[in-house]
Structure 1
Amino acid sequence: MTTHNDSDFDTVVEDDEFDVVVERIEPAATDVKALVLRPVTGTTLPTWTPGSHIDVLLPSGTVRQYSLCGDTSDHDAWRIAVLREPPEKGRGGSEYIHNALHPGSKLRVGLPRNNFPLVESTRYLFIAGGIGITPVLSMIAHADKQHLDWRLIYGGRNAESMAFRDELARYGVRVEIVPEDRTGPLDLGHMLSIPRSDTAVYCCGPSGLLQAVEAACSSWPDGSLHLERFVPAPSQPESGDTAFEVVLAKQGRTFVVRPGETILRTLESNGVDVLSSCQQGMCGRCEQTVLEGTPDHRDEILTPEERAAGEYILICVSRCHDDRLVLDL
């Protein structure tokens, strides 16, 4: 899940990160700025697919994830949009981007990753709330270019807070703008009342919207609903956690992961460098291949089918149901 909040993230700098320069900064809505980024070297940027996000490494050493919301066919520039978080909710990341960056500023970014991919479908229903419009922009652009059947319902507190409204106007009646102060909240019960096997539902926005959409889609066919969260879903206390061994097959090393400690922290405390970023099970950077053992999945990324297969694990949050977990590390 792409995050747009200001939680502090740790990172391990690797070769999949590089410098870009801010070409221009444009207002996209109240408290939302769009940044157009170009590679410092003048080379083309890596390709990406609708729903992708990038890591942005700030001078403080923290990392933020932002959805790419430009044109997937443009290999010379990327666009991201940043919501300015209130000081009491954030920790300075969005403040830095809004106040310190200017055209010509350099940023360190990571390669695009897609934990919110657009699956093939006969029909799409996109539901966005607030800054959750960002990953959806590239999806509707793709669907429109392919002449697919799609519709976007876009809600926000008020029209002024809803980014890219002017850009969305070119799609006409396919897009419904729903500012809550004028029309009230989204009528999810009506738009999702009839389950359709030919429709993929994509939703990104605040947790309240996601929970409401999940409830409204409870009777839809499995695999119909696709969500991207800003923050992890509330989790139940895991009072029954027990210690287990984690084995690094390639290194021939074994460590004990104690209750209340993550696999990632255990490895890091023993000098094992592993790629990581959000440490909330949302970005996918720490994903590892499982050779033996049954993962106890606690991430926000893997699908039910992927969880059942047990081939991968997000080591920043997930644990093991068995006494021993062997990783391809």
Structure 2
Amino acid sequence: MPRIPYAPRIRTVLVVTAAALAARRALRGRIKGSPLWPLPALDHPISGRGREAQAPARTHRLTVTERVAEATGVIRLRLEGADLPDWEPGAHLDLVLPSGTVRQYSLCGSPATPGSYTIAVRLIEDGRGGSQEAHELLHEGTEVTVRGPRNRFPLHDSHAYVFIAGGIGITPILPMVRQAEREGIPWRLLYGGRSRASMPFLAEVEKLAGAGADRVTVVAEDEDGRPDLAALLAGAPPHAAVYCCGPEPLMDAVAALLPDAPEGLTLHTERFAPATPSPTGENAPFEVELRRTGRTVTVPADTSALRAIRDQALPDLPYSCEQGFCGTCQQRLLAGEVEHRDELLTDAERDDSLLICVSRAREGGRLVLDL
């Protein structure tokens, strides 16, 4: 048998090896781009938008190391622990209270402080009991479980910012203001509340104004009346980012004024409030088909789709707030018309997904979910 010269053999080996590596890289890229990656699949499929949406929030056991009365009816808590994930302005924690109740609280400390998270809790007398439990049971030395942090209210890049906060809504806004100041980006803040005594972090807000005192407007309603939102927005730079958090009437008012404001303002809001009720005031029963599970669930008029699915088909399906603002129960919609009642999803997300803790089938119809 004739022998192949040495040099051509080397070239052949190199060509074959390069082709194999290229094919391997291409296959790896296709696998990673697949919606089934990474494998193995979860025991209980969770629909979502990519791997981040499918991954459960990390759980941490923390200790309350500081409790301070930050304002009338508001306590500030520092929670400390080991190996805590980093976070960015706008992030929040799921706080698991001693009773097992879960509530969401924005992180309001500094992301640059390792080993601790800071939250603030306003006591809501006529609420569902979570804030009252936090005020009564969370003291220095108390251990608590938290999940997260997660960020559904991120601070996007902009050439200028307008921040609007009402009451406890200052908590996610404050780290944003600090970051804008640190990066030298122009910003203005309107901070309103019922009274100065009820407004948490007021001293720090006024200190942030620094030499540019006109950057911060503090409006205490018992002294100054309602804030002039129209004037604030009229003076905003074109194409600035507007971030607003606070009571629903405040955020609704800002959204209503935006069309008359300077060109290109973009509004970003966060609502930690119960979901919008049905327009008719009544719920109708409906059915949910779980396409991958092969089951059809009946949702009674007085039950959420989340509860019905957990009770009848998928008992370990993740959830958290049950109010339509944390995003844990977001599922992919395959068919059906949805009556969206959340305060979280964008219009684009509502085209093919819903939060099953609050949203229902329109007019008692049928939904098909990727579950």
Task: Report the TM-score when normalising by structure 1.
Answer: 0.84
Deviates more, 1:214-223 or 1:225-234: 214-223
What is the alpha-carbon distance in structure 2 between the residues aligned to residue 76 and residue 296 of structure 1? Answer: 42
**Matched letter for residue 268 of structure 1:** R
From 335, 338, 341, give the equivalent of 1:298: 341
1:79 CA drift (Å): 0.2
Paired residue for 1:6? none
Larger helix fraction of residues: 2
Contact 2:67 2:76 in 1 (8 A): yes
Uncovered stretches (5+) of structure 1, i.e. residues with no partner: 1-13
Paired residue for 1:135? 172
| Residues 1:144 and 1:161: Cα distance change in structure 2 (over 3 Å) | same
1:274 is paired with a residue whose SS is coil
Q: Does 1:212 align with 2:249?
A: no
Q: Does 1:36 align with 2:78?
A: yes
What is the alpha-carbon distance in structure 2 between the residues aligned to residue 259 and residue 105 of structure 1? Answer: 40
Give a deviation string over 1:27-75, Cα, whole Å, max 9, x none.
Answer: 2112211101112xxx221122211111111122211111110112323
| Residues 1:317 and 1:15: Cα distance change in structure 2 (over 3 Å) | closer
What is the alpha-carbon distance in structure 2 between the residues aligned to residue 149 and residue 260 of structure 1? Answer: 49
Q: Does 1:262 align with 2:301?
A: no
Aligned residues: 308
From 176, 201, 208, give the equivalent of 1:170: 208
Q: Give 1 or 2 for the bigger CA radius of gyration.
A: 2
1:193 CA drift (Å): 3.7
**Matched letter for residue 298 of structure 1:** R
From 270, 280, 283, give the equivalent of 1:228: 270
1:93 CA drift (Å): 2.7
Percent identical among aligned pairs is 44
Structure ranking higher on relative contact order (CA contacts 8 Å, 6+ apart): 1
Q: Does 1:161 align with 2:198?
A: yes
What is the alpha-carbon distance in structure 1 between the residues aligned to residue 301 and residue 130 of structure 2? Answer: 32
Q: Does 1:65 align with 2:104?
A: yes
Contact 1:53 1:112 in 2 (8 A): yes
Paired residue for 1:4? none
From 181, 184, 200, give the equivalent of 1:147: 184
Aligned-residue RMSD, C-alpha = 2.6
What is the alpha-carbon distance in structure 2 between the residues aligned to residue 15 and residue 187 of structure 1? Answer: 39
What is the alpha-carbon distance in structure 1 between the residues aligned to residue 367 and residue 265 of structure 2? Answer: 28
Q: Does 1:278 align with 2:306?
A: no
Paired residue for 2:116? 77
Contact 1:29 1:163 in 2 (8 A): yes
Paired residue for 2:50? none
Q: Does 1:123 align with 2:160?
A: yes
Uncovered stretches (5+) of structure 2, i.e. residues with no partner: 1-55
1:141 CA drift (Å): 1.5
2:321 is paired with a residue whose SS is coil
Paired residue for 2:48? none
Deviates more, 1:221-230 or 1:138-147: 221-230
1:20 CA drift (Å): 0.6
Paired residue for 2:147? 110
2:149 is paired with a residue whose SS is coil
Contact 2:57 2:149 in 1 (8 A): no
Contact 1:56 1:66 in 2 (8 A): yes
1:194 CA drift (Å): 6.4
Deviates more, 1:289-298 or 1:311-320: 289-298
| Residues 1:71 and 1:270: Cα distance change in structure 2 (over 3 Å) | same
1:192 is paired with a residue whose SS is helix
From 50, 56, 62, give the equivalent of 2:89: 50
